[in-house]
Amino acid sequence: MTINTSNKELKTLIKESVREVMKDEISKLRALAMPSVSDAEQKDIERRYGKPTRKGVKSYTLKV
């Protein structure tokens, strides 16, 4: 079975795929670069400035 696609369509598909992968990898790198915060520090931050108001948050679990 063969699938016929034009060079332009193939190039567009590859670009979109690479963008998705780069976005995911950059997000993981940003998460790694973020400093850790202890529970006491987090409570102090929340006491001083209040809890964050953003509803939608992405989180990543990284094994180091």
Q: What is the mean pLDDT of residues 17-25?
A: 94
pLDDT score for 57: 66
Residue 3 lies in a domain: yes
The reported pTM is: 0.50
- Whole-number pLDDT of residue 48: 93
Is 25 inside any structural domain?
yes
Number of structural domains in the chain: 1
Q: Is residue 29 part of a domain?
A: yes
Q: What is the mean pLDDT of residues 40-55?
A: 85
Show Cβ contacts of residue 28 under 8 Å, excluding neighbours closer than 6 positions. Answer: 60, 62
Other CB atoms within 10 A of residue 45 CB: 13
Domain assignment present for residue 45? The answer is: no
Confidence of residue 31 (pLDDT cuts 50, 70, 90): confident
Instruction: Determine contact, residues 15/46, Cβ cutoff 8 Å.
Output: no
Instruction: Report, as an integer, the average pLDDT of 23-50.
Output: 90
pLDDT band per the 50, 70, 90 thresholds, residue 35:
confident
